[in-house]
Amino acid sequence: MILGFVLGVAFGLIGYYFFPATEFTFMTRASEVFTFVGAIFLRLIFMVVIPLIVSALMLGTLELSQGASFGKVGGRCLLFTVVLSSIAAVIAISITNLLKPGVGLDYDEAALAANQGVLAIQKNVAEAQARPWFQYLVDLLPQNPIDSAVRAFSGEIIALMVFALFFGWALSTVIKDKEHPFAQVLDVIFKASMRIIELAMVLAPYAIFGIVFNTAYRMGAGFLGNVAYFAFVVLLGLCLQFFVVYSVFLATIGRTNPLSFYKQCRDVYLYAFSTASSNATLPIALACAENVLKIPSRIARFVVTIGASANQNGSGLYEGVVVMFMAQVFNIDLTLGQQVLIIMMSMLACVGTAGVPGGSLPLIVVLMVQVGIPAEGIGLILGIDRFLDMCRTTLNVAGDLVIAKLTTASLTEKDLADMREAEVV
């Protein structure tokens, strides 16, 4: 996969600069072939995400509840998620205030207002703002779980996960036999989903080559344009969270060597970067957590699956940087109270971010409007958002595995022994 990624970047850039599609028509055909391979690969992954999420969460909640570990695992998972998300948001505000990437930036206000991408996002924002605050809480409980599953990749996946959690808990109150047929059915669905992922991984090196080739061929190396400094600030924040914050937590609470941990997870990071989708990366992250990191399956299924949508450190950090950047561009002096509001809203917004490419953009505009920043400003970063989406998705997925490791390390040896014994049985 690493070779496919490197070759994809190299050949994509060569094609962009020396074989433009306007002059070399065969490049269009080549791009279509790569798109086809990448699309088949992603469809294989996406088609099992829903059965995987439902079975993993129901099983995880059922097994943890039966073993009296649900409260411990759930509480620690929530604690680490809140702490790491808070740190990410604070990093975003701090570095943007310090480095001021939006000060003095030139832009065409009329062109921004007419940008089709901006207009599409504004439509979604208008619909979101028309909803009363309590409706967001109500919508966490799906009226029709089947309908939520159908619309999972359009923002309903959190509701589907809440249903799976509640149903898993309810199952634990009525199922006392560990060999109950329904529990076995859920286990078979989970294992069958992972079997399809194994099949898809045969295509992975070629698919990653195709996906990365098309991205590089479409964007080239000069896509940064006049927002290069903004991109640098975002990448700096992501790196601080990844290499400093995560490393400190892994070395202290996790009692593990951060470099060894990162090396073990490198395939997951590469896949997350290539696809820019937390949902698509979920099966690979689950396999890594159980088979490579040796995290008990009950914890892995619960923490990593929830984290794919509820723990979005990278998206939260990115949203904070973007809002502060836009305020600087439009010369809006945000008060300390407004900056604290941005931190709080970034933490909350990243929980509802769709785990698909570009899923955070409508939420960013909502944050901007809340503090008086013109919504059309989002057009400034649309050209670079895809690349930064790849970067922040990598941090999102990395955070899921870190929290799974921290949760495991924070449990007693007896708790872990009981879990492993139950898995063997």
Q: Give tens-digit pLDDT for 62-115.
A: 877 766 566 788 888 889 988 998 899 899 999 999 999 888 776 556 555 555
Q: Chain-centre distance of CA 355, in angstroms?
A: 5
Residue with token string 């896949």: 271
Measured distance CA(350)–CA(356) in Å, rounded: 13
Residue from 266, 352, 288 nearest 85 by CA: 352
pLDDT of residue 262: 95
Task: State pTM to two decimals.
Answer: 0.78
- Reported as half-sphere exposure (CB side, CA atoms, 13 A), residue 152 has a value of 25
Measured distance CA(88)–CA(86) in Å, rounded: 5
User: Which two tokens mark 46?
Assistant: 């996406």
Find out if CATH 1.10.3860.10 is the number for domain 2-424.
yes
User: Which two tokens mark 350?
Assistant: 């990243």
Measured distance CA(118)–CA(346) in Å, rounded: 20
pLDDT of residue 127: 54
Q: What parts of the chain have a pLDDT lower than 70?
A: 66-70, 106-136, 153-156, 178, 219-226, 347-363, 366, 415, 417-425
3-state DSSP helix/strand/coil percent for the chain, to nearest 5? 80, 0, 20
Measured distance CA(234)–CA(2) in Å, rounded: 24
Residue with token string 């699956």: 305
Residue 370, SS3 per DSSP: helix
pLDDT of residue 135: 66
pLDDT of residue 356: 47
pLDDT of residue 241: 96
pLDDT of residue 243: 95
pLDDT of residue 87: 92
Between the CA of residue 98 and those of 3, 95, 152, 311, 400, what are the distances in Å?
38, 5, 38, 26, 29
Measured distance CA(285)–CA(135) in Å, rounded: 32
Between the CA of residue 157 and those of 101, 113, 130, 148, 163, what are the distances in Å?
34, 31, 21, 7, 10
Q: C-alpha angle 124/129/132, rounded to 5°? A: 135
Amino acid identity, residue 286? Answer: L
Phi (first) and psi of residue 112, to 5 degrees: -65, -45
pLDDT in tens, 189-245: 988 988 888 888 888 888 888 888 887 787 666 555 667 888 899 999 999 999 999
For the four alpha carbons of 301, 269, 220 and 238, in that order, the dihedral sign comes to: positive
Measured distance CA(117)–CA(66) in Å, rounded: 49
Strands annotated E in 54-119: none
To 10 degrees, the CA torsion angle through 409, 45, 208, 5? 0
pLDDT of residue 159: 81
Count the residues in the chain: 425
